[in-house]
Amino acid sequence: MAKPTEWRPKGVVGAEAIRRESPAGRFLPEGPLAEFVEHFWTVSWDLSGQPSLVRETLPHPSVHLVIEEGRSGLAGVHTGRFSRRLEGRGWVLGTKFLPGCFRPFWGRPVSEFTDQVLPLATALGPPGAALEAAVLGCGEDASTAVTHVEAFLLERLPRPDAKARLARSIVARILEDRELTQAEAVAREAGLSLRSLQRLFQDYVGVSPKWVIQRYRLHEAMEQLEAHQAVDLPALALALGFFDQAHFIKAFRTYLGRTPAVYARGPEG
Domains of the chain are 3-155 (no CATH), 162-264 (1.10.10.60)
Per-residue pLDDT tens listing for the chain (269 residues)? 666 665 566 666 655 544 444 556 889 998 999 999 999 999 888 888 888 888 888 999 999 999 999 999 999 999 999 988 888 989 999 999 999 999 999 999 999 999 999 999 999 999 999 999 999 999 889 999 999 999 999 999 999 999 999 999 999 999 999 889 899 999 999 999 999 999 999 999 999 999 999 999 999 998 888 876 678 889 989 888 888 899 999 999 999 999 998 888 776 54
- pLDDT on residue 5: 62
Q: Mean pLDDT of all residues in the chain?
A: 89
Q: How far apart are CA 42 and CA 25, in angstroms?
A: 5
10-13 — which CB contacts under 8 Å span 24+ positions? 10/60, 10/219, 10/222, 10/223, 11/57, 11/58, 11/59, 11/60, 11/215, 11/219, 11/222, 12/55, 12/56, 12/57, 13/55, 13/56, 13/57, 13/58, 13/81, 13/222, 13/256
- Taking alpha carbons only, the member of 142, 130, 50, 133 closest to residue 91 is 142
- Taking alpha carbons only, the member of 204, 172, 202 closest to residue 189 is 172
- pLDDT on residue 56: 87
The pTM of this model reads: 0.90
- pLDDT on residue 25: 83
